[in-house]
Amino acid sequence: MQALVLTDYKNLQMQEVPKPTLLSPTQVLVRIKAASICGSDVHGYDGSTGRRRPPITMGHEGSGIIEEAGSLVTNFKVGDRVTFDSTIYCGTCSFCKQGLFNLCDNRRVLGVSCADYHQDGIFAEYALIEERVLFHLPEGLSFEEAAMAEPAGVAAHAISLASPKLGEDVAVVGAGLIGLLVIKLLRTMTSGTIIAIEMDEQRREKALQIGSDVVLDPRDPELIAKIRALTKGEMLPLVYEAVGASSPINTAISLVRKGGTVVLVGNITPTIELPLQSVVTRQIRLQGSCAINGEYPAVLKMMADKKLDVTDLISKVAPLNEGKIWFDKLYNREDNLLKVVLVP
């Protein structure tokens, strides 16, 4: 089969590789119909994250059709249209037994090659997927839309860890793909003011189009004063941070009220500088959010019911063999792309 292989950092090649064969009776072989490029793939493209060590077939956000099913697969059959969680959990560790599959001690992520494991992903014609992470596609939902279920699930999981009350104001720092999905989901939950904090003008405009009431530039020297005015002096009870670097995290902390919560969704840098005294003396709660834990059915239903539209976040659908072109564009931040979906 053909696969898009990271042969060296910043170098992708279409290669002929062996077609996968079932390794266990609980697996299915999925013919990939759509595979979107995640920001983590782009950040791993140059080796900076240490989680895409070549050679590796990257990719973990996708959908397809079951072509073969193992003998112990019970809820899916050949021909089913499916999507899948990117996290392969063991099901037996103490966290899995508590239902905390995203915190599995033995978790693997599709398309990741790090010091602990190598797990080829879905930038290929076929992929092996465990039944326990499979989900049926609702009727009418396209494969391209379904490839957005994983990032939508990431946004939904972040919200599940700290949700706004009805009418409560909330801010999202960073209007990249995940930040925009957080905004879209928040718009279905609260009648309060949703504030997007984003440096890029085009993304601020996008945030307004998809549900934000107010957009602000984090570099604005009047930012805190404007938030104070919007909230009648109270500041914000809840802020989602969707970048993962020192400056935007510090911005999020500066906007939250005493006793408030900052949900940390972004993860582009391994360490940050933290304003510890501001956090401690104002009793701020910092809540990390890791991957997805059971949000797939909800986001798939919302997408099928047109309560969550993801089509306006897909910048380009392109053939898999053009993958290097689009990786380079995303890596170089060209054309203000949000999501590129590759089709084998």
CATH code, domain carrying 103: 3.90.180.10
Domain termination site, one of 288, 318, 333 = 288
| Same-domain check for residues 176 and 162 | yes
Look at residue 265 in the predicted model and tell me its pLDDT: 97
What CATH code is carried by the domain that includes residue 248? Answer: 3.40.50.720
| Same-domain check for residues 18 and 50 | yes
**What's the distance, CA 268 to chain centroid?**
12
Look at residue 49 in the predicted model and tell me its pLDDT: 85
Look at residue 48 in the predicted model and tell me its pLDDT: 84
Selection from 257, 264, 255, 254 nearest residue 283 by Cα: 257
| Same-domain check for residues 131 and 182 | no
Tens of pLDDT, residues 207-221 = 999 999 999 999 999
Q: Judge whether residue 311 has pLDDT over 90.
A: yes
End-to-end CA gap in the chain: 10
Q: What is the mean pLDDT of residues 79-105?
A: 96
Q: How confident is the model at residue 268 (pLDDT cuts 50, 70, 90)?
A: confident
pTM for this predicted structure: 0.96
Look at residue 1 in the predicted model and tell me its pLDDT: 97
Tens of pLDDT, residues 25-81 = 999 999 999 999 999 999 999 998 889 999 999 999 999 999 999 999 999 999 999
Average pLDDT of the chain, as a whole number: 96
Q: Find the domain containing 268 and state its range.
A: 154-288
| Same-domain check for residues 144 and 14 | yes
**What's the distance, CA 339 to chain centroid?**
11
Selection from 141, 148, 31 nearest residue 78 by Cα: 31
Q: What is the mean pLDDT of residues 241-259?
A: 97
**What's the distance, CA 163 to chain centroid?**
18
Selection from 288, 14, 30 nearest residue 135 by Cα: 30
Look at residue 286 in the predicted model and tell me its pLDDT: 98
| Same-domain check for residues 9 and 113 | yes
| Cis before 270 (ω within 30) | no
Say if residue 214 is exposed, middle or buried (CB neighbours under 10 Å; 0-12, 13-18, 19+): middle
Look at residue 184 in the predicted model and tell me its pLDDT: 98
Tens of pLDDT, residues 133-177 = 999 999 999 999 999 999 999 999 999 999 999 899 999 999 999
